[in-house]
Amino acid sequence: MQQLGSQTWQFTTRPVILGSSAVVGPEEGEGPLAADFDFIYDTLKMGEKTWEKAERTLFEKASQLALYNAGIDEKQLEFFVGGDLMNQIISSSFAARKLGVPYLGVFGACSTSMESLAIASMIVDSGGSKYVLAGTSSHNCTVEKQFRYPTEYGSQKPPTAQYTVTGSGCAVIGKNDGSGKGVQVVSATIGRVMDLDITDPFNMGTAMAPAAADTITAHFRDTTLSPGYYDLIITGDLASVGLPIAKALLAKEGIPMEQTKFDDCGLLIYDLDKQKYVIAGGSGCGCSAVVTYGHILKRMKKGELKRVLIVATGALLSPLSYQQGESIPCVAHAVALEIGGEGV
C-alpha cells in the first residue's frame, strides 16, 4: 500500500471484490433497484420477535450470500470487518458470532460501508489475509426508535427528513490474480470529521454535505485526478437536501464536478415520486451498502461503468449527544472501484 497525500491509500495489488450481496426489506423491494438485490424480505420483522433481531437476521443473510457469490465457504474466510448503527454495533457483532472468524468492529455511522471496505482491502493488500468479508446493515425500525421516534409513534416529519434503509450489504475481498477480471479496489480516501453546527436529527443531508465535499476534495488533491476520470461519483445518503449543498461546496472549491455524473445512493434506492413516505430520500448504513454491492457492481460487471468513486457519508451522533443538545459531527470515506487492469 502507498500513501498519497495526507488522506489517501493507494492499494498496490488492487484487491478484488470476489463476490457481494445486497439484502433488503419490503420498501426497498418496491423501489427502482429491486432487480439488483439478491434477496428481498416481504416483512420488516423477517420472522423475528424484535426489530433488532430482524436486523441481525438481515446481516447474517447478506454475509452468507456474499460468501456464496464469492465461491468460498466460511472455513476459508479469515477476517470480518463490519459495523452498523445500533448501540455497541450489536447487529454486526452478533453476526460475527455466527461467522466465528476474527472480527474487527468499526463505526462510521452511514459511512461504515466504505470504511469497512477500505480496511478489508488494506488487510488483503498488505498480505494480512486472503479472504476478508466487509459489511454493514441498518433497519428502519431499529434506527428510528434509537435516534428519533419509534415507528409506532407516527410522528409527522419535516421535508428534510430521510428514510432509513432496511438493508445489509456485504462483500468478500480477495487477492488480485492478475487476470484483469472482477471489480478492483484501487484506493481509499479517509475522511476528516466535519461539523456544520447542525443539531436537528431530521436534517442529516445538510449535516453530512460538508464532510462529503471535504473528502472528495481531498481525493482529487491526493491523487491529482480530476472528476472526469470517473464514470460516476456517488455519495452515500445526502439525498435531495444534502446533494445540492455538496455540489455548491465543491464548486466553491473549484472542483469541476460537471465533468462526470454526480449522484446519491439515497436518491437512487427509492422512487421519491411514488414512495412519498421516504420524503427527502434514503439514509442509513444499508443505503450505500446495498446500492454499491447490488446496483453499482452489477453495472460495472456489465461494462456500463468502468471507474466509480463511492463516497459514503456518516453522521456521528448518538442518542445521548442528541439529548444533550450537541451538534452533529460527520465524516465521509471514499473508495475508488475500477473494472479491468492487471494489478500486481
CATH code assigned at 38: 3.40.47.40
Note the pLDDT of residue 245.
97
| CA atoms of 251 and 247, how far apart (whole Å) | 6
- 8 A C-beta contact, residue 194 and residue 330: yes
Domain boundaries, position 221: 1-344
**Which uninterrupted H or E stretch holds 26?**
helix 26-29
pLDDT at 124 over 60: yes
pLDDT at 344 over 50: no
CA separation, residue 122 to residues 11, 199, 336 (Å)? 7, 34, 13
Sign of CA dihedral 211, 300, 36, 159: positive
**pLDDT over 60 at 227, yes or no:** yes
Q: How confident is the model at residue 114 (pLDDT cuts 50, 70, 90)?
A: very high
Q: Which residues contact 222 (CB under 8 A, 6 or more apart)?
A: 4, 5, 6, 7, 8, 189
pLDDT per residue as tens digits for the range 264-306: 999 999 999 999 999 999 999 999 999 999 999 999 999 999 9
Mean pLDDT value across the chain: 94
Interatomic CA distance for residues 171 and 239, integer angstroms = 24
Q: What is the mean pLDDT of residues 144-156?
A: 72
Q: What is the pLDDT of residue 153?
A: 65
Nearest by Cα to 16 from 188, 185, 135: 185
* Cα–Cα–Cα angle for 100, 98, 20, rounded to 5 degrees: 90
Q: Is the pLDDT of residue 340 over 80?
A: no
Q: Is the C-alpha dihedral spanning 103, 107, 112, 117 positive or negative?
A: negative
pLDDT for 341: 60
Give the residue-averaged pLDDT of 177-203. 92
Structurally, how many domains does the chain consist of? 1
Answer yes or no: is pLDDT of 181 > 50: yes
Task: Check residue 143 and give its pLDDT.
Answer: 84
Q: At 149, is the pLDDT very low, low, confident or very high (cuts 50, 70, 90)? A: low
Q: Which one-letter DSSP state was computed for residue 294?
A: I
* Helix (H) or strand (E) run with residue 222 in it: helix 204-223
CA dihedral 113, 118, 121, 125 (to 10 degrees): 180
Does residue 343 have a pLDDT over 50? no
